[in-house]
Amino acid sequence: SSGINAEWPLRPGEIEHDKLSVEKCDVFNKEEMRPHVENAEVVLSCLGFPLQRKEPVPYYLQVAQVLSETMHEFGKRRVVFMHSWYTHPESRARCRGFFLKNFFLPYVIGQSLNGMRLSEEYLDSTDHLDYTCIQPAHLLDGPVTDKKFILNETDSCIADAAQEINRADVARYMLDVIDDESSYRKIRAIGVGVDG
């Protein structure tokens, strides 16, 4: 066991879906992942890991590699990851807010974002996965809504979107995008309008 605890970001009952089952296993252990991946049509990964200051958080890449190898073994293709806005370092310069841009991104979550970026680059190098990386704005604990999503596939942030989004809405988007072939092999920043 890796000693790292990672969980689905929703609380029980926050969002229900007839085709969704939440599985618990060591995501760094291919042997433990096998039965879960073998019986799945699609894999959703919403993992978060402890912050690091000096180097990219390695766990995002490690999970992507283990999932990729395990899915390839069983001929599974569809996987949806949740990452974050600002995984592209260039996008951080366009960030709104002095504190966010000059302190929080570089010194608090910068290495997490860098780790997510390494995972995205790895996924792009594969040829057997129909992946989608969802990059939401700052996550809030509010309920699921019917707000319309704003998407950006060319940058890892969205200038005209709200700076936050409910976790439940991110889950709603991830479930909605599962069968959307236009999202295959894409990295999409998502947000909602400032006024909803």
What pLDDT is stored for residue 1 in this prediction? 39
Run of H or E including 1: none
pLDDT in tens, 118-160: 999 999 999 999 999 999 999 999 899 999 999 999 999 999 9
Q: Name the pTM for this structure.
A: 0.89
Nearest Cα residue to 113 out of 85, 151, 154: 85
* Distance separating alpha carbons of residues 66 and 114, to the nearest angstrom: 19
Q: What angle do CA 164, 170, 174 make, to 5 degrees?
A: 155
More confident residue, 48 or 119: 119
pLDDT in tens, 72-82: 999 999 999 99
Cα 152 from chain centroid (whole Å): 15
